[in-house]
Amino acid sequence: MGDSKKTKIIMPKEPQIEILSYKRRQRLFQFLVLVFLIALPAMIFYTTGYRLNFENSDSTFITTGGMYVTTDTLEVDVYVDEKQVEKPRLFRSAYYIQNIEAGMHRIVVQKSDLHTWVKELPVDPRIVIEASAFNMPVKPNIRPITEFTTADNQPVFMMASSAVNVFAKATSTVTFIATTTVASSSLKTNEEYIFVDSLFGTSSLSRRSAISRLLDEVDRFRFATTTDTQSTTTKEVIVKKGDVRLVYKNNDVYAVWQNGLNNIPYYYCVGESDFISTSERFGEHVAEAIFGQDASINTVLFESDRVCRLEVKLNRLGQDVYYYDFFPNSSDLVLLLLSDGLYVTEIDDRAWQNTQLLYPGDNFEVVVENDIIYIKEDDSYFEIITEIETE
CATH number, domain containing residue 79: 2.60.40.10
**Residues 170, 67 share a domain:** no
Q: Which helix (H) or strand (E) holds 205?
A: none
- Average pLDDT, rounded, for the chain: 79
The answer on pLDDT for 208 being more than 60 is: no
DSSP single-letter state for residue 206: G
Distance of CA 130 to the CA centre of its chain: 11
Q: Is residue 42 part of a domain?
A: yes
The answer on pLDDT for 260 being more than 70 is: yes
End-of-domain residue from the set 99, 120, 135: 135
**Residues 92, 241 share a domain:** no
Most trustworthy range by pLDDT among 41-55, 56-70, 123-137, 282-296: 123-137
Confidence band for 84, pLDDT divided at 50, 70 and 90: very high
**Residues 187, 166 share a domain:** yes
**Residues 194, 130 share a domain:** no
**Residues 40, 106 share a domain:** yes
Confidence band for 91, pLDDT divided at 50, 70 and 90: low
Instruction: Identify the sign of the CA torsion 299, 335, 213, 224.
Output: negative
End-of-domain residue from the set 115, 135, 155: 135
Q: Is residue 154 part of a domain?
A: yes
Contact between residue 109 and residue 139 where contact means Cβ atoms under 8 Å apart: no
Q: Where in the sequence is the domain holding 176, given as residue range(s)?
A: 141-250+313-384
CA nearest 386: which of 60, 35, 73, 55? 73
**Residues 191, 339 share a domain:** yes
Q: Is residue 390 part of a domain?
A: no
Count of structural domains within the chain: 3
- The rounded distance, in Å, linking the Cα atoms of 222 and 207 is 9
What is the reported pLDDT for 81? 92
What is the reported pLDDT for 184? 66
**Residues 83, 228 share a domain:** no
Confidence band for 10, pLDDT divided at 50, 70 and 90: low
CA nearest 354: which of 117, 135, 121, 137? 117
**Residues 220, 245 share a domain:** yes
**Residues 66, 123 share a domain:** yes
**Residues 301, 275 share a domain:** yes
